[in-house]
Amino acid sequence: MLRFALTRIALAVPTLLIVAVSVFLLIRLIPGDPALLMLGDMADPHSLADFRRSHGLDQPLPVQFALWLGNLAAGDLGRSITTGQEVLPLIFDRFLVSATIVVVAVALASLVAVPAGMLAAWRQNSLTDLAVVAGATLLLSVPSFWLGLLLLLLFGMKLGWLPVVGYVPFGQDFGAALAYIVLPVATLVLVEVGVIARMARASTLEVLRLDYVTHARAKGLSELAVMGRHVFWNAFAPTWTLIGLILGNLLGGIAVVETVFTIPGLGRLLVDAIFARDYPVIQGCLLFIAGVYIVVNLVVDLLYPVFDPRVTA
Amino acid sequence: MTRTWFGLPASPGALLGGLLIGVLLLAAGLGMVWTPYDPLAIDFRARLQPPGPEHWLGTDEFGRDVFSRALAGASTSVSISLFTVAAATVAGMLIGLAAGYLRGWTDRIVVSITDALLAFPGILLALGLLAVLGANKYGIILALALAYTPSVVRVVRSNVFSLRETGFVEASRVMGNGELFTMARHVLPNCIAPVTVLATGMFGWVLLSESALSFLGLGVPPPAPTWGNMLAASRPYMSQAPWLGIYPGLCIALTLLGINLLGDAVRDRLDPRMRRI
C-alpha cells in the first residue's frame, strides 16, 4: 500500500513540472517585454529593472525558468497588474468560493446518480432503465450556462423564490449564503448527474455479468444483499475515478456558471484577468487550477484501493 | 470494419440523433447562403418583439431577427467546430503515426508533451491559449485544436503500437514493403475507425467549448452571431424577453443530444455487450 502510494506520488511530480514549463512558455510566447507584461505599462523604471534582475531576464531561458520556479516554490506569483493585490492570496480566496460550490454539487450529484445508475443496470431494459438512460442522455446534452439561465429565469425571476445574482460567504450569513448557492449548485448537479449515472450503470452492468454475482444469488442472498454487499463496491470503483475527473474538470469549466450567477469564483477571476491582460493573475490561475486538478486525481487514485484493493497488488 | 458504419442499428435513439444532426447540418448550410432577415440588420422600431408570424423566434435588443441570427450562428458554430476537429484530427494522426513509427526519443517527447497538455482540465488550456492568441474566430480554432489534438495523438499512437505487432503488418514487411509504405497502406487505414469515433464525440465537445467561450466573451466577437454570444447578450433581457436566451441554448442542447445519441449508437455497435435489446 505504501509502495503504491509513493509510486503514484512520484508519478505526479513530472506532470506538475511539465505543467509549470507549459505555463512558463505560454507567458513567454506573448510578444513584448516580460517585465512590462508582468508589471503593467504603468510600472516605474526602477521596479522594471528590479524585476528583470530578479527574474534573470538577461540570462538564458533555462536560468529564467529556474529563477521563476524558485519564486513559485516560495509562493511568490507576483502582484495583480490591475488591483496590485498579491496573486496567491487572491487566488486562494476565490478558490474557496468555487470549491464550495463544486464539491457540494459533485457530492449531491453522486448521491443521486450512483443509486439511479445501479437501479437502471439492475433492471436492465426495463422501463426504469429506459427512463434513467433517456434522462441521463438528455441532461448530458444540456449546456450548464443555458440550464443556469433557465433556472434563474424560473426560480429567480418568475417565482421569485431565490436571489438572482451574487454571493455571500458562509462565514458571514449562513442562511443567505445557502440561498445564493442553491441555483449554481443545482445547475451543476443536474449537468453532472447524467454523466455519473451513465458511468454507474455501465460499470454495474459489467459487474452483474460476473460469476461471483451469480454465485451470490445462488447462495440465496436477497437482491438487496447482492447489490449492496457484492456489486456496489466493485461497480463503484470506476465511477469513483470519473467523479475525481469531474471534480477537477469543473474547476476549469466553472467560469461559465460563475458568469451566469455573478459569483466571484476562480473561473471568473481567470476570465476577467484574460480581458484585462493581467498576466500575473492569468499565470497564477492556470498553474493553480492545473495543480489542483493533478492533486485531486492523485488523491482519487490513492483512495482507489479502498474500493478495489486489487490495484495495490 | 465497414459493417460498423453501414449497419448502424436503427434504434429510435440513433434515428433521432441522425435526424437532429441532419437538421443541424442543413441549418448550417442554409445559414451560410440565406436567412429570412439580415442577421446584422438593426431595426430599433422592432426591438424585443416576442416570437410571432413575422419574426418566428422574436427579435433581440437591437431589433435583429433571432431566427436569422440562430441560422447564421449555426453556420458559424458548425464551421468552427468542423475546422477545429479537422485540424486536431489531421495533426493528431500525423503526430501519433510519427511517434508510433519512429518510437524511441520522438515517442518519449511526444508522450510527455501530450501528457502535459492533457493535465490541464476542461477548457482551461483553451482559456490559457486564448489569453495569448487573442479572442477571435481563428484564435478559437487554433486554441481548441491545440487543446483537442493530444487525445487524437494518444488514440492513434496506441493503435499504431498494437498494429505494428499484428500478423498482417509483419506479412507486409516480410513481402519486402518499406516501413513507410506499410504504415500508409496497412497501419493508417486501421486507425481510421477509432479516430472517426473520437472525432464524432469531439465535434460535440468542441461545439460546447466554442459556445462556452463565446458565452464568456472570449469567442467570436459581436456583432457576428454565435449561439454562445447570443446567450450572453440575452442575460440583461432575461425577464422581459426570455426567448432571447431560450432558443440559442435549445439549439446547443439539441445539437449535443444528436451527437450523444449518434455516439451511443456507434459505441453500442462497437461494444455489443452494452447493446440494449
Structural domain includes residue B255: yes
Cβ–Cβ contact B238 with A under 8 A: yes
Contact B41, B64 (CB under 8 A): yes
Which of A95, A97, A80, A105 shows the shortest CA–CA distance to A295? A95
CATH number at residue A123: 1.10.3720.10
Residue A178 pLDDT grade (very low, low, confident, very high; cuts 50, 70, 90): confident
**How many domains are there within chain A?**
2
CB atoms A253 and B274 under 8 Å: no
SS (H, E, C) B221-253: CCCCCCHHHHHHHHHHHCCCCCHHHHHHHHHHH
Question: What is the reported pLDDT for B91?
Answer: 95
> Into how many domains does chain B fold?
1
Is B40 a member of any domain?
A: no
Query: What HEC string does A22-49 produce?
Result: HHHHHHHHCCCCHHHHHHCCCCCHHHHH
B4 is a domain residue: no
Q: Tell me which of A23, A51, A76 is where a domain ends.
A: A76
pLDDT per residue as tens digits for the range A221-279: 988 888 988 888 888 888 888 888 888 888 877 889 998 888 999 999 999 988 888 88
- Determine, yes or no, domain membership for B66: yes
Considering the domain architecture, whether residues A177 and A117 belong to the same structural domain is answered as yes
- Which residue out of A126, A139, A149, A271 would a mutagenesis test of the B interface target, given it has the greatest number of B Cβ atoms within 10 Å? A149
Residue that terminates a domain, selected from A44, A76, A108: A76
Task: Compute the average pLDDT of residues A84-92.
Answer: 89
Where does a domain end: A76, A100, A128? A76
What is residue B46's DSSP assignment? G
Nearest beta carbon to residue A149 from set B119, B212, B238:
B238
pLDDT tens profile A2-16:
888 888 888 888 888
- In this prediction, residue B250 carries a pLDDT of 94
Same-domain check for residues A70 and A165 = no
pLDDT of residue B10: 63
Task: Report the phi/psi class of residue B48: left, alpha or beta, with left for phi > 0 and alpha for psi in -120 to 50.
Answer: left
Q: Which residue has the higher pLDDT, B266 or A191?
A: A191
Q: What is the domain-level CATH number for residue B161?
A: 1.10.3720.10
Averaged pLDDT in 10-residue chunks for chain B of 277 residues: 46 86 90 83 78 80 85 91 95 91 86 83 83 83 92 90 86 86 86 86 91 90 88 86 89 93 79 49
User: What is the Cα–Cα distance from B246 to B123, expressed in whole angstroms?
Assistant: 24
Give the pLDDT confidence score for residue B215 in this predicted structure. Answer: 92
**A128 and A55 in a common domain:** no
Range of the domain at B192: 23-33+58-276
Any residues with CB less than 8 A from the CB of A144 and at least 6 apart, and which? A187, A188, A191, A253, A256, A257
Cβ contacts of residue A146 below 8 Å, gap of 6+?
B231, B245, B248, B249, B250, B252, B253
Closest Cα in chain A, distance from residue B229 (Å): 12
Whether residues A51 and A153 fall in one domain = no
Q: What are phi and psi of A86, to 5 degrees?
A: -70, 140
On whether both A49 and A148 belong to a single domain, the answer is no
Mean pLDDT of A5-28: 84
Q: Tell me whether residues A274 and B211 touch, CB distance under 8 A.
A: no
pLDDT value for A62: 84
Chain A residue with the nearest C-alpha to that of B230: A146
Residue A313 above 60 pLDDT? no
Question: How far apart are the two ends of chain B, measured CA to CA in Å?
Answer: 22
Same domain, A255 and A205: yes
Which residue among A19, A137, A150 places its CB closest to the CB of B260?
A137
Shortest Cα distance, chain A CAs vs residue B47, angstroms: 20
The answer as to whether B153 is a domain residue is yes
- Which residue has cell 454562445? B228
- Cβ contact B121–A248 (<8 Å): yes
User: Is A139 part of any domain?
Assistant: yes
Whether B16 has its CB under 8 Å from any CB of chain A: the answer is no
The verdict on A60 and A172 lying in the same domain is no
pTM for the predicted model, two decimal places: 0.87
Residue A19 corresponds to which cell in the numbers above? 505543467
**Same domain flag for A55 and A186:** no
The per-residue DSSP string of B64-83 comes to -BHHHHHHHHHHHHHHHHHH
Question: Given this model, what pLDDT does residue A185 score?
Answer: 93
B235 chain-A contacts, CB cut-off 8 A: 149, 260
Pair (A145, A49) in one structural domain: no
Q: How far is A157 from chain B (nearest CA, A)?
A: 6
Q: Which residues in chain B touch residue A145, judged by CB atoms under 8 angstroms apart?
A: 211-212, 215, 231, 249
| Shared-domain flag, residues A236 and A100 | yes
pLDDT of residue B2: 36
pLDDT at B277: 37
CA distance A259 to chain B (A): 7
Task: Give the pLDDT mean for A64-90.
Answer: 85
Tens digit of pLDDT for each residue in A283-300?
Answer: 899 999 988 888 888 888
Chain B residue with minimum CA distance to A199: B274
* Co-location of A100 and A136 in the same domain: yes
The answer to whether the CB atoms of B115 and A157 lie below 8 A apart is no
Tell me the count of A-B CB pairs closer than 8 A.
142
Same domain flag for A163 and A223: yes
Asked if the structure places residue B12 within a domain, the reply is no
More reliable by pLDDT, A189 or B182:
A189
Asked if A30 contacts B132 with a C-beta cutoff of 8 angstroms, the reply is: yes
CB contact under 8 A, B256 and A274: no
Q: Is residue A6 part of a domain?
A: no
Whole-Å CA distances, A64 to A19, A69, A225, A264, B43: 16, 8, 61, 33, 56
- Decide if B39 is inside a domain: no
In a mutagenesis test of the A interface, which of B132, B133, B239, B270 is the best target, namely the one with the most A β-carbons within 10 Å? B132
Asked if residue B85 is part of any domain, the answer here is yes
Q: Which residue of chain A comes nearest to B13, CA vs CA?
A: A134
Task: Report how far residue A235's alpha carbon sits from residue A213's, in angstroms, rounded to the nearest whole number.
Answer: 12
Confidence band for A107, pLDDT divided at 50, 70 and 90: very high
Indicate the residue of A138, A140, A290 with minimum beta-carbon distance to B124: A290
The verdict on a CB contact (< 8 Å) between B116 and A146 is: no
Q: How far apart are CA B79 and CA B51, in angstroms?
A: 27
Domain that holds residue A168: 88-307
